[in-house]
C-alpha cells in the first residue's frame, strides 16, 4: 500500500525521526533483521559458504570450547593433528588417533573437515628431516597417498602443499629438503592426492600471499596459473591471513582473492586471525569477511582457533571469542557482514566434493558364482540424505575383474575402486542403485564399502 501523507501515523513519524537521528546504528540494525542467522556457520551458509575454525584434540574435553565449536562453526581444521609429524611419526607407521578424534567429532556434528596438511617443509617427523633425493620424494608421495587414502571421501579440501614459497622479494620457491628433490615435487604431490581421494578439493596454502603486490603472492599466482595451464590437479588456493600491525589486512585483499579466483580455482581463507581489540579489530574482520563475500569463488573462511586463549599467539588476542568464551566485537562484525550477504550463489563447484554427511551411503553385494568365476551385483543405498555421487571400494582376494557395467572402475585386482557414472550418481535419500561386474576367482570377501561424494 502506498502511504499518503494523511495516512502516516504518529508512530511512523517518530520512527522516521529516529532513523535520521540514529543514522549508523540503524544501518547496523538493517543488517541484522529479526530473521538473520545467529551463528557464524548458519550466516555463511546463506550465501553457500562455510565458516570454520581450527581446533586442537587436547582441548576437546573443555565444555565451553566444544560448546562454541558445536554451535558456531560448520567446517573444522585440525590445528596440528593431521600434519606429517603427527600422522607418520615413524616411517611407514601411521598414527591417526588425535586426527580421528577431531574428524569424527566434526562429522558426527554434521560439520565438514579441511585437511591440513599433506606435505610441508615444517613439522616433518624426524626420520623425514634427514632424508633427501629420491628416497625423500618417494617417502613424501607415500605419505600423501596413505593419508589421503585413509581419509578418502571424508575431507572437503586438503592443503596438499603448505608454505612452499620464500618470503621476501624473490617470488621463488622456499629452499627445503622437499624443494631439493626437484621443482616438480608440488605437482607430484597434487597428482598423488588426486589419485588417492578424487572427491577432495586440492589446495595450495600459504601465508604472506594476501597482498597482490608482494613478490611471494606473484610467485604463487604464476605457479597456479601454470598448473591450470598444464592440467595439474589443483582446485583451490588457501590464504592463511594471519594479520597484525606489521602485516595488516592489505588494501587490495579482495582484488587478490579475485585475481586468483579468475585462474579458475576456489579461494579459501584458511587460518584467519587478526591481532588487536575492540572496534579496530572488528572493522578488520569486517573487511576480510566482506572481501570473501564479494568474490563468488571464495568458498569460506576458517579462523585459526576459537578463543583468544586458544590461539598460537594468544598475546595478540586475535580471535572472535575472549578467553571466557564471550563473543567479542569482532564476532558481531563478522556475523553482521555474513548476514548482509554477498552476490551470487557462492562458489561454483567444478569438481565433485566429498559428502559432509557421515554414513552417507552403504553398499551390499549379491554373488552369482560358478567354478572359477562370478557375477557380482553391488547395491548402493543412500542414507538419510540424497547422494550426488558415490565411491565404492571392493576387495578381490583372488582373480580379476573381466568386465563391468554401470560404474567407472579403477584397478582390476586386489582393491578395486568404483565410482558412479553420469546417470546413476544421484540417488534419493534411502533409495538404491546397482552396478555389476564379472570376474575370475570365487568373488568371496568382496566386502564393498561406500563413500558419498
Ligand atoms: O597453530 C599451530 C601451532 O599450534 C603449532 O605449534 C605450529 C607448528 O608449526 O603450527 C601452527 O599452525 C600453523 C599452520 O599449521 C600453518 N600456518 C601457520 C600456522 C600458525 O603458525
Element (H, E) at 239: strand 236-239
Check pLDDT > 70 for residue 142: yes
3-state secondary structure of 249: coil
Q: How many Å apart are CA 1 and CA 358, to the nearest integer?
A: 49
271 ligand 1 Cβ < 6 A: yes
123 ligand 1 Cβ < 6 A: yes
Residue with CA at minimum distance from ligand 1 atom 4? 312
Give 450 Cα–ligand 1 centroid separation in angstroms.
Answer: 34
CA distances from 207 to 187, 204, 215, 323 (A): 19, 11, 12, 25
289 ligand 1 Cβ < 6 A: no
What angle, rounded to 10 degrees, do the helices at 185-196 and 133-150 form? 30
Q: What is the pLDDT of residues 230-258, one digit of tens each?
A: 999 999 999 999 999 999 999 999 999 99
Q: How many Å apart are CA 31 and CA 435, to the nearest integer?
A: 50
Q: How many Å apart are CA 261 and CA 269, to the nearest integer?
A: 12
Q: How many Å apart are CA 17 and CA 40, to the nearest integer?
A: 33
- Taking CA 437 as the corner, what is the angle to CA 434 and CA 439, rounded to the nearest 5 degrees? 155
Does 187 qualify as catalytic in the annotation?
Answer: no
Paired with 323 in beta bridges are: none
3-state secondary structure of 374: strand
Give 264 Cα–ligand 1 centroid separation in angstroms.
Answer: 28
Give 25 Cα–ligand 1 centroid separation in angstroms.
Answer: 38
122 ligand 1 Cβ < 6 A: yes
Across 195-218, average pLDDT: 97
3-state secondary structure of 421: coil
Residue with CA at minimum distance from ligand 1 atom 13? 79
240 ligand 1 Cβ < 6 A: yes
> What are the percentages of helix, strand and coil residues in the chain, rounded to 5?
35, 25, 40
**What is the structure's pLDDT at 359?**
54
Check pLDDT > 50 for residue 268: yes
Check pLDDT > 70 for residue 32: no
Q: What is the pLDDT of residues 308-320, one digit of tens each?
A: 999 999 999 999 9
**What is the structure's pLDDT at 8?**
36
Q: Which of 265, 277, 173 is CA-nearest to residue 224?
A: 265
Edge-to-edge strands of the sheet including 373-382?
A: 361-370, 373-382, 432-440, 401-405
Residue to mutate, 271, 311, 315, ligand 1, most ligand atoms under 8 Å from C-beta: 271
- Taking CA 82 as the corner, what is the angle to CA 80 and CA 85, rounded to the nearest 5 degrees? 75
Q: pTM for this structure?
A: 0.74
Check pLDDT > 50 for residue 5: no
Q: How many Å apart are CA 267 and CA 157, to the nearest integer?
A: 11
- Lowest-pLDDT range of 35-49, 197-211, 321-335, 364-378: 364-378
Atom of ligand 1 nearest to the CA of 207: 17
- Our separate counts of H helices and E strands in the chain read 13, 17
Considering only residues 126 and 33, tell me which one the structure prediction assigns the higher pLDDT.
Answer: 126
Residue to mutate, 271, 312, 313, 319, ligand 1, most ligand atoms under 8 Å from C-beta: 312
Q: How many Å apart are CA 116 and CA 16, to the nearest integer?
A: 51
Atom of ligand 1 nearest to the CA of 304: 1
Q: Single out the catalytic residue among 72, 79, 163, 275.
A: 163
Phi/psi at 76 (nearest 5 deg)?
-130, 135
Check pLDDT > 70 for residue 352: no
- Taking CA 149 as the corner, what is the angle to CA 380 and CA 157, rounded to the nearest 5 degrees? 90
Atom of ligand 1 nearest to the CA of 116: 15
Paired with 361 in beta bridges are: 382
Pairing of strands 112-120, 157-162: parallel
What's the chain's average pLDDT? Answer: 89
**What is the structure's pLDDT at 360?**
83
3-state secondary structure of 120: strand
Residue with CA at minimum distance from ligand 1 atom 8? 123
Is residue 171 within 8 A of residue 215, CB to CB? The reply is: yes
In 10-75, alpha helices (H): 10-22, 24-31, 40-45, 63-72
Residue with CA at minimum distance from ligand 1 atom 14? 79
Considering only residues 101 and 13, tell me which one the structure prediction assigns the higher pLDDT.
Answer: 101
Edge-to-edge strands of the sheet including 390-395?
A: 408-410, 415-419, 390-395, 449-452
77 ligand 1 Cβ < 6 A: no
**What is the structure's pLDDT at 300?**
97
- Residue 137 grid coordinates: 620424494
59 ligand 1 Cβ < 6 A: no
Paired with 210 in beta bridges are: none
Residue with CA at minimum distance from ligand 1 atom 10? 80
Query: Is residue 21 very low, low, confident or very high in pLDDT (cuts 50, 70, 90)?
Result: very low
Q: What is the dihedral of CA 301, 304, 310, 315, to 10 degrees?
A: -110
Give, as one character, the DSSP assignment of residue 248. Answer: P
- Residue 41 grid coordinates: 556457520
Does 271 qualify as catalytic in the annotation?
Answer: yes
Amino acid at each position: 500500500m502506498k502511504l499518503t501523507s494523511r495516512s502516516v501515523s504518529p508512530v511512523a513519524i517518530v520512527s522516521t525521526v529516529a532513523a535520521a537521528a540514529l543514522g549508523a546504528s540503524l544501518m547496523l540494525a538493517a543488517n541484522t533483521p529479526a530473521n538473520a542467522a545467529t551463528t557464524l556457520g548458519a550466516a555463511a551458509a546463506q550465501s553457500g559458504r562455510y565458516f570454520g575454525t581450527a581446533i586442537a584434540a587436547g582441548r576437546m574435553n573443555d565444555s565451553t570450547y566444544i560448546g562454541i565449536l558445536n554451535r558456531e562453526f560448520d567446517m573444522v581444521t585440525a590445528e596440528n593433528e593431521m600434519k606429517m609429524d603427527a600422522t607418520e611419526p615413524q616411517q611407514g607407521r601411521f598414527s591417526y588417533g588425535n586426527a580421528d578424534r577431531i574428524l569424527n567429532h566434526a562429522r558426527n556434528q554434521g560439520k565438514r573437515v579441511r585437511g591440513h596438511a599433506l606435505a610441508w617443509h615444517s613439522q616433518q617427523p624426524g626420520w623425514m628431516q634427514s632424508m633427501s633425493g629420491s628416497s625423500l620424494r618417494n617417502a613424501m608421495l607415500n605419505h600423501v597417498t596413505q593419508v589421503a587414502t585413509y581419509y578418502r571421501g571424508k575431507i572437503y579440501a586438503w592443503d596438499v602443499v603448505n608454505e612452499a614459497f620464500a618470503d621476501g622479494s624473490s617470488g621463488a620457491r622456499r629452499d627445503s629438503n622437499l624443494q631439493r628433490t626437484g621443482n616438480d615435487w608440488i605437482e607430484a604431490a597434487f597428482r598423488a592426492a588426486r589419485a588417492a581421494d578424487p572427491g577432495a578439493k586440492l589446495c595450495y596454502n600459504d601465508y604472506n600471499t594476501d597482498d597482490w603486490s608482494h613478490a611471494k603472492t606473484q610467485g604463487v599466482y604464476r605457479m597456479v596459473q601454470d598448473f591450470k595451464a598444464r592440467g595439474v590437479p589443483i582446485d583451490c588456493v588457501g590464504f592463511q591471513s594471519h594479520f597484525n600491525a606489521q602485516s595488516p589486512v592489505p588494501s587490495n585483499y579482495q582484488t587478490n582473492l579475485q585475481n586468483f579466483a579468475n585462474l579458475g580455482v576456489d579461494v579459501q581463507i584458511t587460518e584467519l586471525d587478526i591481532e588487536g581489540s575492540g572496534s579496530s579489530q572488528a572493522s578488520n574482520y569486517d573487511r576480510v569477511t566482506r572481501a570473501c563475500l564479494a568474490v563468488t569463488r571464495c568458498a569460506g573462511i576458517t579462523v585459526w582457533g576459537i578463543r583468544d586463549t586458544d590461539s598460537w599467539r594468544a598475546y595478540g588476542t586475535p580471535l572472535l571469542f575472549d578467553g571466557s568464551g564471550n563473543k567479542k566485537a569482532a564476532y558481531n562484525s563478522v556475523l553482521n557482514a555474513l548476514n548482509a550477504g554477498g552476490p551470487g550463489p557462492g562458489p561454483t563447484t567444478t569438481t565433485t566434493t566429498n559428502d559432509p554427511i557421515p554414513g552417507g551411503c552403504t553398499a551390499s553385494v549379491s554373488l552369482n558364482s560358478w567354478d572359477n568365476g562370478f557375477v557380482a551385483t553391488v547395491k548402493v543405498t543412500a542414507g538419510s540424505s540424497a547422494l550426488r555421487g558415490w565411491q565404492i571400494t571392493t576387495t578381490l582376494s583372488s582373480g580379476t575383474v573381466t568386465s563391468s557395467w554401470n560404474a567407472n572402475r579403477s584397478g582390476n585386482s586386489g582393491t578395486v575402486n568404483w565410482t558412479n557414472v553420469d546417470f546413476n550418481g544421484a540417488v534419493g535419500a534411502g533409495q538404491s542403485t546397482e552396478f555389476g561386474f564379472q570376474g575370475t576367482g570365487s568373488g568371496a570377501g568382496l566386502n564393498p564399502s561406500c563413500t558419498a561424494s
